[in-house]
Amino acid sequence: GRTGRGAAAPALPPSPPDRVRIPAIGVDAPLTGLGLTATGSLDVPPAEKKNLAGWYEAGTTPGETGTAIVAGHVDNAEGPAVFYRLGALKKGSTIEVDRRDGGVAVFTVDAVEVYAADAFPDEKVYGAADRPELRVITCGGAYSRSTGYQGNVVVFAHLTGSR
């Protein structure tokens, strides 16, 4: 079902996600499970698999109550990767997540923000939510040849429908 424009939809039962689609920026990518690095940061998909996105599998699944996390590369040595155009997304854009239970969770973008790595708002991005929410994260901001990207692009979205 779908709700009114931008209204939150009822939560879905837990189900691992298999694919993410963001039509406005041409994303249609498989999802793999991600964990945490030894330092407690969110891991990322292998750099050589530039069109693969990942989701934090120890957390909320997309569509259930809480904050689900999806991440992917902006680019790699070969060029643009899965979330290269993420920063161009606009409020109101649609993100669809195919779920292993056969359903599709439909999210609407609330905001797109860029944060410096040394000022990343962990609680705002990863904190608990009382409705089904989604964060899509990639690298962004200034780039340094020695240390890479100096920040992150974060898309904030909430569940507005399912099918």
- Per the domain annotation, does 41 fall within a domain? yes
- Per the domain annotation, does 149 fall within a domain? yes
- Per the domain annotation, does 89 fall within a domain? yes
pLDDT given for residue 4 in this prediction: 56
pLDDT given for residue 7 in this prediction: 87
- Per the domain annotation, does 11 fall within a domain? no
The sign one gets for the Cα dihedral 61, 31, 71, 7 is: negative
In the chain, the amino acid numbered 113 is E
Domain holding 134: CATH number? 2.40.260.10
Q: Say how far apart CA 91 and CA 64 lie, in whole Å.
A: 21
E strand intervals along the chain: 17-22, 27-34, 53-56, 66-71, 75-76, 79-80, 94-99, 104-116, 132-144, 148-162
Give the pLDDT band of residue 6 (cuts 50, 70, 90): confident
Domain that residue 55 falls in: 17-162
- Per the domain annotation, does 10 fall within a domain? no
- Per the domain annotation, does 88 fall within a domain? yes
Check: CB of residue 68 under 8 Å from CB of residue 88: no
Give the pLDDT confidence of 60-119 residue by residue, as tens digits. 999 999 999 999 999 998 999 999 999 999 999 999 999 999 999 999 999 999 999 999
Q: What angle do CA 66, 125, 58 make, to 5 degrees?
A: 50
Total domain count for the chain?
A: 1
- Per the domain annotation, does 138 fall within a domain? yes
- Per the domain annotation, does 22 fall within a domain? yes
Decide if pLDDT at 151 tops 70. yes
